[in-house]
Structure 1
Amino acid sequence: MAKLILDLPIICRLRIIKFPHYAVNSFTIKRFCNVLYKVLSSLLSKRLLFISNCGGSFRVSRHFSKHQKKNDRDDCSSVSLSFEDIPVKNIRNFSIIAHVDHGKSTLADRLLEITGVLEPKTSNRQVLDRLQVERERGITVKAQTASLTYCYKGENYLLNLIDTPGHVDFSNEVSRSLAACQGVILLIDSNQGVQAQTVANFYLAFGQNLVIIPVLNKIDLKNANPEAAIQQLNTLFGIEPKDVLKISAKLGTGVVNLIEAIIERLPSPPSDRDGPFRGLLFDSWYDQYRGVIGLFYIKDGKVEPGDVIKWCNTGKQYKVKTIGILQPEEIPVTKLVGGQVGYISCNMRSIKEAQIGDTVVLSNRPAEPLPGFKSSRPMVFAGIYPMDQSEHSVLRSAIEKLTLNDNAVTVDIDSSPALGQGWRLGFLGLLHLEVFTQRLEQEFGAMAIVTSPSVTYKVFIHGKKNIDKYGGEELLISNPLQFPDVQIIREIQEPIVLGTIISPDLYLGSIMELCMEHRGVQQSATNIDDTRILLKFLLPLNEIVIDFHDNLKSISSGFASFDYEERGYVPSNLAKMSIFLNGKEVAELSSITHCSKASDFGKRMCRKLLDIIPRQQFQVAIQAKVGGKIVGRETLKPYRKDVTAKLYGGDVTRRMKLLQRQSEGKQKLKMIANIALPRETFINVLKR
């Protein structure tokens, strides 16, 4: 019987082939082994692996990177490596958190190369950014996992890397990833220094009691100023300069020292491998052949294919089909043990049963569920409708599968007289909305109409009959169509956020003016160093979800960074603005606005409708009304036939008579005719 001895089975992806004893003899086995040895040798000759023929058995081992020290290679070259055999004390689970474009994905590429997962080559760029939208936009949208092995001081270590997004709209991905980690790498650009998202990520990790390794990246740039960045870290967070590492993720400078710092500074995961199995679900995706696949942090115990697992939240039970790790490709393994991060497939077809933050246990060995983590609350809402109602089921299926992979999105059924049946979706921000709709189109081929985004308001009503009618005194309104009559409203509250802006002091005046225009209230101003300042403003969420970030980048020449966190609700002077065409209200075009900006917003809306609404045979008056007051008005001129074209001279009274008759006909038509707006008109008005 041929036997395969694999030091790294997950790298070469070999499976043991079993032959019936009556089907082969020793000569057949020997010939098979020789052929297999030649094939593997040719395939892996340029990889970081080597194979030794041991007379009927093979030993497949990993070549060590040139970055590793010689004594490490000598100590570990003969050690047989299997993931489940690595003790818990040699496991490190960590994330990379940073501001946008500070080099997280590039550092992940170097870590994959140095640990032997990838062959070093120039085409290794953003390897963990697997989505098309991530490649096109150059940003990380989804947190990705890679299990790496590294030999240090004669021992093999398992490093579970989770690469997280940097944009504020994907902070939910960061918080979920940190739930499976014991430490983080806080990455800072040596050229830009501490940015707004750097501050937010630091306190997010600090609040979860994670060990933080501060790292300065891009030290190879000629404009890099690591000393200034170190001083900023000390001023803002109290980090000692001796604890800061300096690297160049692009060139690989100092990355080996970073790996050793991860091993030395970060603690191993607290795990009891002999105890009952407990796994925390922190990510999932859908495969059309295998169903729901969950990514788990294995807290305690072990799980193998064939085990029956139970979801603590729903109580449903499933039989485990396949398990494995990500490297970053899916690599099947025989078991997952405590301290590891891996995926589990159990042929689950119901998407709603895989709830992020849920705990799975063995059905025959129950255990207490893990505490999970707090999910982010959606802050921006938009309607999504199919281009044609015949595509409703296709879009519904695509939304269900994509929300499984992005659980921060909330889905509620909605309908519009103009656009038909659809959904009201909640997002963490405007970029989150754009990326979601782009993924719908690219990954599922689903074309959708997306309405203009809005936020959720709290409306308090009075009167016992009104409270009974609406089911409570407090109403949550995210759609203007749900806005109650102004006469029964006691108070309206809008969500506010605490915005953090870091910018060179050269643009201080312009930034403060921009914040004031968006109804901001300054909370504090702190000098980070001689040239940069940190500002904190309370801002209404509705004022920043559309174009605030773009305007901030424009007036600061791209140097300012912005981050925000929710701060609850405050009373505000808000009102519903309605659109009237020839005195008839068009409910689908309603919106909620602040009274101080109602006039400008109403005029802008009327001018937009003037360009979009098709001309009629009669004059159309476009009006924007708040309460009982008209705040904007435009007039759409009618089509006019030249009724005097056949007159060749003659008395002028004949000409005036024809024009008068035409005018009377237009007035009569205006009173009795209905304005038929095509569906494209609503799409152009409502979409972003």
Structure 2
Amino acid sequence: MKNIRNFSIIAHIDHGKSTLADRIIQECGSVSQRELKTQMMDTMDIEQERGITIKAQSVRLDYVKDGEHYILNLIDTPGHVDFSYEVSKSLASSDGALLIVDASQGVEAQTIANVYLALESNLELIPVINKIDLPAADPIKVAEEIETSIGIDATDACLVSAKSGVGIRELIDAIVDRIPSPTGDPSAATKAIIYDSWFDQYLGALALVRVFDGEIKKGQVIKLMSNGEEHQVLDLMYPHPLKKAKTLAIKSGEIGIVVLGLKEVSVVNVGDTITDAKSPASEPVGTYEPAKPFVFAGLYPIETDKFEDLRDALQKLKLNDSSLSYESETSIALGFGFRVGFLGMLHMEVVKERLEREFDLDLIATAPSVIYHVYLNSGDLVEVQNPSELPELNHIDRIEEPYVKATVITPSEYLGNIMTLLISKRGIQEKMTYLNEDRVMLEYSLPMNEIVVDFYDKLKSISKGYASFDYEPTEFKEGDLVKLDVKVAGEVVDALSIIVPRTSALSRGRVLVKNMKELIPRQLFEVAVQASLGNQVIARETVKSMGKNVTAKCYGGDITRKRKLIEKQKAGKKRMKSIGKVQLPQEAFMSVLKMD
């Protein structure tokens, strides 16, 4: 055990985690030059294309220092706020962490959030300043920023360039010297934490575990402590991006893959503890909490007969993403579909893109919403995810909405614009700290409803991409909220209903119907687009009808012939208006997102 090092890589998005992982793998000689490719650890197409890490990945490496053989277990974690749940579980299975900071950009919001997660797990942190070969790099200033904003000593920070390979060997030596070896009792009852799980079409559900006490052996009957289920271990492997090595036992302090032959990954939950079925451990490794979805949206197939295909696609996707939750729902406008719970907006984008790509589906996504706590006059509490489920106003005592603690780090030149944006989103300032003379950290309390739509895009555009953003849910607070409905040709389109603050309902309603007017294709009859609060219409636009020249064939004769044809057309349009149906394009549902 004294020669094992378990460590994670944590950083903000785009600070070079995956590239650094590639260089460490290359330096340890685990992958030949011919097999080497960029983003070795990112196995999904969408990860490769976007240059982001969506799932945490692990690899077991061999390294020789001063004639002694060491085993390095490296975990590359996602950088985006949506996947901080995976980061926290990865850190719980590590003994140390590399804190990567971009030498040209400095400390960002997600950097600080991940550091707090690491400190909660009592990990040894090694500051690593990456991209030192960039012209704009300023490692000395970044080291000072790490010390002032995070409060950890950065005098012996490792200076590296993951792209060119500068300083990588010195970094690996620092990992061996500074990250402690795992502690645990090899003779005690088996105790291991599951920090990742996925589905393999040949082997079934796989659990990636870190063993704390005892060992897991092939053929052993293990017990999952969260649900008490017992399963036999069919096979054991060490993780590797290309070739997984089989083993007969994963010993105390080691990391490995457990094959249980299960058909559902939902049984093998991230954060759960594995122990021996015959002589179980007395307590689990830390507390187990399932991942909670924060953002909900409706997904509907554009072709209504593809509903069963969408159900199958969601079932298969859930095998590889246990944080996904869904339930069927029906919309008058869109037919049959699913209400899907996501960890955040990026998670929603990724899931929708994977469903469309991997399963060849065309989908409509409704505007995302959050969970509201609705207290009825009877004293009952109702949780509402879908605005169309909101009870009638006369039954509601109060509505509470979720708030988050938002952290924004920005260059001071954009401070005024960002504060204006936060105030427009009903933000309440809690703290403002200058990290140095030209970088500011803001902490605001914000309603989550205000950030799930386009907040991140706006923040990036007004700060020219330099501001960074992170949030964590805090509490539910009472708000003066109402349901804004949209009626098209007199019918309420339930998929376009949104819950908004009463003060902004009028302005939002006007903008929404104006956007809709541009998007709804013209019909042979006039189409009224209305925004309403209950039965009260607060805004209206009219989509003009297409005119057909019915008098074109009348090239002479009496005027009454033409008048008769025009009157006949008018009567036909009136009848069509009462029975006509309007097909809404996908852009109409997205117009809810662009209401400023």
Relative to the length of structure 2, the TM-score reads 0.92
For 1:593 and 1:519, the matched residues in 2 are separated by: 12
Does residue 435 (structure 1) correspond to residue 340 (structure 2)? The answer is no
For 1:614 and 1:350, the matched residues in 2 are separated by: 45
Does residue 353 (structure 1) correspond to residue 353 (structure 2)? The answer is no
The residue correspondences of 1:594-633 to structure 2 (distance < 5 A) are 594-633=501-540
Code of the residue aligned with 2:355 in structure 1: it is: L
Does residue 675 (structure 1) correspond to residue 567 (structure 2)? The answer is no
Query: How far does residue 295 in structure 1 lie from its aligned partner after superposition?
Result: 0.9
After superposing the two structures, state which structure 1 stretch, 123-132 or 653-662, moved more. Answer: 653-662
* Contact 1:606–1:632, Cα closer than 8 Å, also in 2: yes
Aligned to 1:243: 156
The residue correspondences of 1:322-401 to structure 2 (distance < 5 A) are 322-329=235-242, 330-368=244-282, 369-388=284-303, 390-401=305-316
* Contact 1:311–1:359, Cα closer than 8 Å, also in 2: yes
Query: How far does residue 569 in structure 1 lie from its aligned partner after superposition?
Result: 1.7
For 2:543 and 2:155, the matched residues in 1 are separated by: 70
For 2:291 and 2:266, the matched residues in 1 are separated by: 18
Does residue 474 (structure 1) correspond to residue 381 (structure 2)? The answer is yes
* Contact 1:190–1:225, Cα closer than 8 Å, also in 2: yes
Aligned to 1:157: 70
* Contact 1:176–1:373, Cα closer than 8 Å, also in 2: no
* Contact 2:226–2:288, Cα closer than 8 Å, also in 1: no
Helix, strand or coil: the match of 1:677? coil
Q: Work out which of the residue numbers 91, 110, 116 in structure 2 matches 1:197.
A: 110
Aligned to 2:323: 408
How many aligned residue pairs are there?
Answer: 589
For 1:636 and 1:245, the matched residues in 2 are separated by: 63
* Contact 2:55–2:77, Cα closer than 8 Å, also in 1: yes
Cα separation, partners in 2 of 1:505 and 1:370, compared to 1, 3 Å: closer
Query: How far does residue 220 in structure 1 lie from its aligned partner after superposition?
Result: 1.6
For 2:466 and 2:86, the matched residues in 1 are separated by: 25
* Contact 1:351–1:401, Cα closer than 8 Å, also in 2: no
Code of the residue aligned with 1:621 in structure 2: it is: A
Query: How far does residue 488 in structure 1 lie from its aligned partner after superposition?
Result: 1.5
Structure 2 gaps, min length 5: none
The residue correspondences of 1:524-543 to structure 2 (distance < 5 A) are 524-543=431-450
Aligned to 2:418: 511
Aligned to 1:450: 365
Code of the residue aligned with 2:219 in structure 1: it is: G
For 2:18 and 2:481, the matched residues in 1 are separated by: 43
Residue by residue over 1:479-523, the C-alpha shift from the partner in whole angstroms, topping out at 9 and shown as x without a partner, is 011011011111112222222111111111221222222222222
Does residue 485 (structure 1) correspond to residue 381 (structure 2)? The answer is no
The residue correspondences of 1:63-462 to structure 2 (distance < 5 A) are 88-120=1-33, 124-329=37-242, 330-368=244-282, 369-388=284-303, 390-462=305-377
Query: How far does residue 381 in structure 1 lie from its aligned partner after superposition?
Result: 0.7
Query: How far does residue 131 in structure 1 lie from its aligned partner after superposition?
Result: 0.8
For 1:355 and 1:634, the matched residues in 2 are separated by: 50
Does residue 686 (structure 1) correspond to residue 593 (structure 2)? The answer is no
Relative to the length of structure 1, the TM-score reads 0.81
Code of the residue aligned with 1:311 in structure 2: it is: L
* Contact 2:264–2:319, Cα closer than 8 Å, also in 1: no
For 1:653 and 1:392, the matched residues in 2 are separated by: 53
For 1:655 and 1:441, the matched residues in 2 are separated by: 52
For 2:299 and 2:575, the matched residues in 1 are separated by: 39
Residue by residue over 1:661-686, the C-alpha shift from the partner in whole angstroms, topping out at 9 and shown as x without a partner, is 6445544554xx223234xx264433
Query: How far does residue 146 in structure 1 lie from its aligned partner after superposition?
Result: 0.5
Query: How far does residue 557 in structure 1 lie from its aligned partner after superposition?
Result: 1.4
For 1:411 and 1:582, the matched residues in 2 are separated by: 31
For 1:525 and 1:214, the matched residues in 2 are separated by: 25
Cα separation, partners in 2 of 1:131 and 1:654, compared to 1, 3 Å: closer
For 1:619 and 1:441, the matched residues in 2 are separated by: 35
* Contact 2:410–2:468, Cα closer than 8 Å, also in 1: yes
Helix, strand or coil: the match of 2:580? coil
Aligned to 1:580: 487
* Contact 1:285–1:401, Cα closer than 8 Å, also in 2: no
For 2:464 and 2:534, the matched residues in 1 are separated by: 41
Alignment RMSD (CA, Å): 2.4
Aligned to 1:72: none
Helix, strand or coil: the match of 2:408? strand
Aligned to 2:409: 502
Residue by residue over 1:42-101, the C-alpha shift from the partner in whole angstroms, topping out at 9 and shown as x without a partner, is xxxxxxxxxxxxxxxxxxxxxxxxxxxxxxxxxxxxxxxxxxxxxx12211110000111
* Contact 1:503–1:561, Cα closer than 8 Å, also in 2: yes
Cα separation, partners in 2 of 1:226 and 1:373, compared to 1, 3 Å: farther
Aligned to 1:562: 469
For 1:412 and 1:265, the matched residues in 2 are separated by: 48
Code of the residue aligned with 2:253 in structure 1: it is: G
Query: How far does residue 216 in structure 1 lie from its aligned partner after superposition?
Result: 0.8
Helix, strand or coil: the match of 1:603? helix
Structure 1 gaps, min length 5: 1-87, 468-472
Aligned to 1:634: 541
* Contact 1:325–1:333, Cα closer than 8 Å, also in 2: yes
Code of the residue aligned with 1:211 in structure 2: it is: E
For 2:416 and 2:579, the matched residues in 1 are separated by: 51
After superposing the two structures, state which structure 1 stretch, 449-458 or 360-369, moved more. Answer: 360-369
Helix, strand or coil: the match of 2:436? coil
* Contact 1:418–1:682, Cα closer than 8 Å, also in 2: no
Code of the residue aligned with 1:574 in structure 2: it is: L
